[in-house]
């Protein structure tokens, strides 16, 4: 059976699958483990996929919707300006989901690897996730690129605080239901979380789309990426910048990069190693010494 693609190039479906299979085949795990054993500086770069097996929906997977919204449509300053109530319901829901979730074998394998080799190697975990599961698994040297669900920032005095209370304010009690048939969000602004110091409206201390990352955090992450020998890219679709640039740049300067994902990503061809499968299974194998 032939398929025609633009430019009237046609190739058999069979060869199409062979090409895909070639990309999709997992790499030689023993070869990767040799490279990891001799590494002095190791970086883990994680995305939503590492928390998928903890029951936290990823952005682009089936669970990427809350009510009728794409998560990325709510994670913007514009959404917060136009409906702080809706955005707070969204984050309240995610705080509740993450609080009930447990770190999975992938998070734990990374934390155990750090405690076992952290004295002889420089090990850094850079995460795009805001769910706090790496820290709860025991990871110490952690860079949270995009903030954390359990931190708030005052929109007036900019104070950043850790806030673990659930619900974060009385008005959010029993709110945040993800069902598509829940319409609207009408919590008056005065009942949303406010700053104890200056009574300014609080927002999640999270980097939204269109917002710059904290320069110090970005600098720390870039320094780790520029000097690592081995980088393990775990559970990320590699489509959100600047995080999506990090691993391809490391591979381009000669670092050994291994991708752990359930499917290839736009960056897979940049990397020497690709291990297909849930990272709760593949990471413990890769990190067991
Ligand atoms: C910036 C916090 C400079 C929020 C996040 C137009 C205007 C402004 C900016 C832009 C623009 N166009 C492009 C940009 C840049 C933009 C961007 O990259 N957009 C993309 C969509 C093209 N970036 C930004 O805005 C960044 N800031 O550029 O500042 C600037 C400033 C002003 C103007 C211009 C530039 C800020 C980006 C940070 C946004 N905040 N998170 C929140 O969480 O609520 S990003 C958020 O999405 C995540 O943190 C993560 O980074 C990203 C999601 O990606 P993933 O984590 O990879 O998750 P995803 O679901 O996509 O993929 C999951 C993967 O796991 C899949 O590959 C799947 O196969 C795999 N998987 C699933 N299960 C498993 C698994 N793998 C292994 N095991 C499993 N079990
Ligand atoms: Zn304040």
Q: Kindly report the length of the chain.
A: 289
Q: Which of 92, 107, 134, 146 is catalytic?
A: 146
- Nearest-5° angle of CA 60, CA 65, CA 67? 175
Is 146 in the active site?
Answer: yes
Ligand 1 centre to CA of 111 (Å) is 24
C-alpha Rg value of the chain to the nearest Å: 21
Q: Which residues contact 196 (CB under 8 A, 6 or more apart)?
A: none
Residue nearest atom 14 in ligand 1 by C-alpha distance: 210
pLDDT in the model for residue 265: 95
Question: Are the beta carbons of 206 and 250 closer than 8 angstroms?
Answer: no
pLDDT in the model for residue 17: 53
Residue nearest atom 6 in ligand 1 by C-alpha distance: 210
247 lines ligand 1 (CB under 6 A): no
Ligand 2 centre to CA of 199 (Å) is 6
Ligand 2 centre to CA of 187 (Å) is 20
Task: Write out pLDDT tens, residues 109-144.
Answer: 999 999 999 999 999 999 999 999 999 999 999 999
pTM of this structure: 0.92
Ramachandran angles phi, psi of 210, nearest 5°: 90, -5
Q: Average pLDDT per run of 10 along the chain, which is 289 residues long?
A: 40 53 72 97 98 92 81 94 97 97 98 98 98 98 98 98 97 93 92 98 98 98 98 97 97 98 96 97 95
- The partner residues of 45 in beta bridges, in order of sequence, read 126, 233
Instruction: Choose the residue to mutate in 218, 235, 242 for probing ligand 1, maximizing ligand atoms within 8 Å of C-beta.
Output: 235
Does residue 112 sit in helix, strand or coil? Answer: helix
pLDDT in the model for residue 249: 98
Task: Write out pLDDT tens, residues 225-265.
Answer: 999 999 999 999 999 999 999 999 999 999 999 999 999 99
């Amino acid at each position: 059976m032939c398929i025609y693609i633009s430019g009237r190039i046609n190739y058999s479906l069979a060869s199409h699958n062979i090409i895909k299979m070639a990309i999709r085949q997992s790499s030689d795990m023993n070869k990767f483990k040799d490279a990891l054993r001799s590494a002095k500086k190791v970086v883990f770069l994680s995305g939503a996929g590492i928390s998928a097996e903890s029951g936290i929906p990823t952005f682009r997977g089936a669970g990427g919707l809350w009510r009728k919204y794409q998560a990325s449509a709510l994670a913007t300053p514009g959404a917060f300006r136009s409906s702080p109530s809706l955005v707070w319901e969204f984050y309240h829901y995610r705080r509740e989901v993450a609080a009930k979730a447990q770190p999975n074998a992938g998070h734990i394998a990374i934390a155990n690897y750090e405690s076992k080799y952290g004295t002889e190697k420089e090990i850094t975990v850079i995460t795009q996730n805001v769910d706090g599961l790496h820290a709860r698994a025991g990871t110490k040297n952690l860079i949270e690129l995009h903030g954390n669900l359990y931190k708030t920032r005052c929109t007036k005095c900019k104070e950043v605080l850790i806030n673990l209370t659930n619900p974060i304010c009385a008005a959010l009690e029993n709110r945040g239901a993800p069902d598509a048939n829940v319409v609207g969000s009408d919590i008056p602004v005065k009942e949303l979380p406010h700053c104890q110091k200056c009574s300014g409206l609080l927002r999640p201390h999270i980097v939204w789309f269109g917002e710059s990352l904290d320069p110090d955090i970005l600098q720390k992450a870039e320094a780790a990426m520029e000097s690592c020998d081995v980088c393990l890219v775990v559970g990320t679709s590699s489509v959100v910048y600047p995080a999506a640039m990090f691993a391809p740049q490391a591979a381009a300067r000669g670092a050994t990069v291994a991708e752990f994902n359930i499917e290839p990503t736009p960056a897979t061809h940049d990397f020497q190693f690709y291990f297909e499968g849930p990272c709760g299974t593949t990471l413990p194998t890769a990190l067991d010494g």
